[in-house]
Each structure stands twice: as C-alpha cells, then as structure tokens.
Structure 1
Amino acid sequence: MYKVAICDDEEKCVKEAAALLEDYNKTHPQHTFAVDVFMSSIELLGAMEKENYDIYLLDIYIDKMNGIEIADLIRKKDEEAHIVFMTSSNAFYKDAFRIHAVHYLEKPILKEDFFDAMDRACQKEDTRFLTVKDGNQVCKVAIGDVLYVESEDHYKRIATENDTYMVRSTLKELMDELTEEYFYALGVKSIINLTKVLRITKDTLVMEDGKEFSVPRGTYRTLSELIIKHSF
C-alpha cells in the first residue's frame, strides 16, 4: 500500500487530484492507496511529524510556505519519497529538478500526464547490472548507479557515486550494454547518465560528483530538453 498526501489550498484542485488518483487505481488494481488530504502547509507539516508518506502530490502556490519549501523539508526527512508537483506555473522547473521530483504537472492536469507520474512513483524496477573486469577482479555495477563513462586510450573509466572502474573496452561496446534511454553519448569520448546531471549551461555540463564536461556546439537545447525529460 502507498500512503499518499495531497496538499492544495483550493478545494476544487484537491477533488480533481483525488478523482485522478481514483481513476488511476481503477486501471491499476495491483496498487492500493491510503490518501490524506491537506488544505494548508501547516496541516501537512503537522501530519508529517507523525506519518511518513510514500507519495506527495503538492501544489506549488499553497500559502505562506510554498510547495518547493515543503519539498525541501520532505527531502531532509525522507530522500526516497516520491514528490509530484501540480501547478499553474512553469517557473519552478529548476527547483523541481534539484529536488528530484518524479513529475512536474501543469494545471489543468491531463489524465495521461497524471497517470505517467503515478507510473513513475509506483514503479519498482528490477536492478540491472553491468559486469566489468577491473584489473584482476570482476565486478557487478548497478547500471542506475553509473554517472558517466570516459575514454582513456584503450581503457574506459566507469564512474559511479562511490567507485570508479577501469575496463578495457570500446565506447560502442559499453553503449550497447547501457540500453536505458537516459544514457547519452556526449561526443566520441564519453557517455553520461542524464538523470545524474547537476546543472547545464551552454558551455558546461556538471555531473553530481562535480565532474565537468564541455557541451558540444549546437547540442545545448537538445541536451537540456533530454535532461528535463529524464528528470520528471
């Protein structure tokens, strides 16, 4: 069972979100939901002192404390909670990206977009591993943990959050194994995980571990759109 908190100061919007969740449950009976509704940030924050929620459906313009500020508090308490923003403004994409929101839904919320957000929140993916030979040892690396791959002559350096692995392989061979859509060949010497990008400018792309890559000329717009696509 998923515990869901809906927070919006407009009763109409709360009812719409609850109705969409009910529709989703009808077509996804394998999931069950326990729903609590809050009309103010104070109500939600008070409940969070006693209850942990799996999924938060948050309006951004609530009251004195907006949805982004609430999400920051949620993240301090629970890094694994799934946060979905529901808003009439597109001005907070960067904040939602920073918070690792599951989705950013603009009102009026389309049913297919809401269903997509819930699919992401409820999805339990089987972990897939990349088996690599690093020196004299063979290692299994969770593919979702890969930050990037860099070419260093005949070897390729695979970087994760906590480790690096030097493997004798070609970039193409590794790209053929990294079949997830969020892997992107950045030029001819590196592969990046789009979900692990911290920030991007027209010149530079920074990964979560601080590693910087140059953005190839003419690719900034495409890269930015892909990063947003795979972050929400």
Structure 2
Amino acid sequence: MRIALIDDDRAQIEALSRLVLAEVSNSGYPASKIEAFDSGEAFLAKWQPGAYDIMILDIFMDGLSGVDVARKIREADDTVRLVFCTTSNEFASESYEVNAQYYLHKPVTQEGIAAMFRRLNLDVLEKMKIVTLPDGHPILIFNILFTDYYNHVVTLYVKGEEPYRIRMSQAELEALLLPYGYFFSPVKGIIINFHEVVKMTEEDFILSSGNVIHITRRKYKEAKDAYTRFRFDKMRREVET
C-alpha cells in the first residue's frame, strides 16, 4: 500500500507518518510505503497516475491548496483514495467535487486515523488494484496466483487469464509485488499469493488452482511465520468489519 502525505507543516507530516504506520502495524493492513511532500507543487512534479493508493492532503497550503492538487489528480486518476486534512469544513463542497473519501480533522489522533482506514474500505481497494508491468501491460494484482522466473523471463499466472510472460528480472518483480504483504517467495524464482493458498504442508503450499509450490527447507520457518501472520491479520479484519 502506497501512501502520499502532502502538507507544508513538517511537524504535521511527521505526526501523520507515525500515526499511519502505527495503525498499519496494529491492524494488519498491507505493508505501507509512505512518501511525504512539503507542497502541492513538489508532489505534482513527481506524481504519476496510479502511483499511490491513498493521498492525504492538507487543504490550506502556500501555493497550490489541497483542493487544487486534488483536482489535478482527478483529471487522470479516479481510483486513488483522497483524504483531506484540515481544521475546517469550509471546503466540504469541493471535496464532493473531487470525490474525496474522508476528512481528517486536526489535531489528528490515532482514533481519527483508525476511522479513516475503516471508511476507506481497504479490502475493496486491495482487490481493485491494478499494477503496470515494465512493458506497459496492466494486471489486476489480487488475481495473481503465482509467478515463475526462468532465463530472464517472468511468467505470471493469473486467475481466468492465459499466463503472461515478460522479460524482466526477479528482483524487479519482487520490488513490485512483495511490498503488498500478501506475496511471498518460498523458493528462488517463485512468488505466491497467500490469498490463493488453500493448504500449507511441511514441504509445499497448495494453491486454489491445484498448483503445488515447494518450500525450501531454509525458508520454511519464515514461510510458516509469514503465512500464519497473514491468516491472523485477515481473520481479524473480517471480524472487525
């Protein structure tokens, strides 16, 4: 999960980062990468459509306001979750215009961050997330069963689709998938989606597709711990919702 924080108050950025990371850690959400920007201009200079899952924008900033930035975002990205952070509801009508999903009121609290995550419905977001491969091919990441790397070519096995092959390194693929938290590499050259695991034995992961993926002895404990943590976090979120 990739989160952008846009605020010209450095103390506010640092506080938001701490609170967001604490909520992610305590509530079992996918691992998050947080990037901070001290102005709307600095953010837009780097931003590309699809680069973030959540954006938290201060409304009152020098230069471009949070609403100005949100309008630019919505010209090219209609799926990112937009959150305004402010001391006032003055711009409520503008938030509807850009389809903002939540208002965070300053001073921001842990309870406020928790409420924000519940409202954003991240499980739905997770299932809708599309990533773009280096060759420009879009793929629904949640539907990936597993990937296989051989001789500089990655094969992605996706539910309901023919296998997709692309020339790229395993390191590039791991950088793309592993940050989402529910992907894991139990053996060199293979990445699996924990959502598709129906059983774990002492030697293998068995997937919903019937594929059996071996777990190396060296990685067995790490695999067991990661899969146990994934299942616990998933059950906890289901109970809470």
TM-score w.r.t. structure 1 length?
Answer: 0.51
Number of the residue aligned with 2:73: 74
**Secondary structure at 2:103's aligned position in 1?**
strand
Query: CA shift at 1:41, angstroms?
Result: 1.2
Runs of 5+ consecutive residues of structure 2 not aligned to the other structure: 128-241
- State how 1:114-193 maps to structure 2 within 5 Å: 114-121=113-120, 122-124=122-124
* 8 Å CA contact 2:39, 2:63 repeated in 1: no
Query: CA shift at 1:77, angstroms?
Result: 1.2
The one-letter code sitting in structure 1 at the alignment partner of 2:123 is: Q
The one-letter code sitting in structure 1 at the alignment partner of 2:96 is: F
Q: How many residues align?
A: 126
Cα distance in 1 for residues equivalent to 2:126 and 2:37: 34
- State how 1:1-232 maps to structure 2 within 5 Å: 2-49=1-48, 52-121=51-120, 122-124=122-124
**Secondary structure at 1:123's aligned position in 2?**
helix
The farther-off stretch of 54-63 and 114-123 is: 114-123
Query: CA shift at 1:48, angstroms?
Result: 0.6
The one-letter code sitting in structure 1 at the alignment partner of 2:35 is: D
Identity of matched residues, %: 25
TM-score w.r.t. structure 2 length?
Answer: 0.49
**Secondary structure at 2:4's aligned position in 1?**
strand
Runs of 5+ consecutive residues of structure 1 not aligned to the other structure: 128-232
Query: CA shift at 1:49, angstroms?
Result: 3.8
Distance 1:105 1:50, change over 3 A: closer
The CA deviation string for residues 10-66 of structure 1, in whole angstroms up to 9 with x for no partner, is: 011001110110111121234111111101111100111487111101000112110
Cα distance in 2 for residues equivalent to 1:88 and 1:30: 27
Instruction: Between the two structures, name the one with larger relative contact order (CA 8 Å, sep ≥ 6).
Output: 2
The CA deviation string for residues 173-205 of structure 1, in whole angstroms up to 9 with x for no partner, is: xxxxxxxxxxxxxxxxxxxxxxxxxxxxxxxxx
**Secondary structure at 1:77's aligned position in 2?**
coil
- Hey, which bits of structure 1, 4+ residues long, moved more than 3 A? none
The CA deviation string for residues 108-165 of structure 1, in whole angstroms up to 9 with x for no partner, is: 12322221112233231899xxxxxxxxxxxxxxxxxxxxxxxxxxxxxxxxxxxxxx
* 8 Å CA contact 2:58, 2:85 repeated in 1: yes
**Secondary structure at 1:124's aligned position in 2?**
helix
Cα distance in 2 for residues equivalent to 1:19 and 1:45: 24
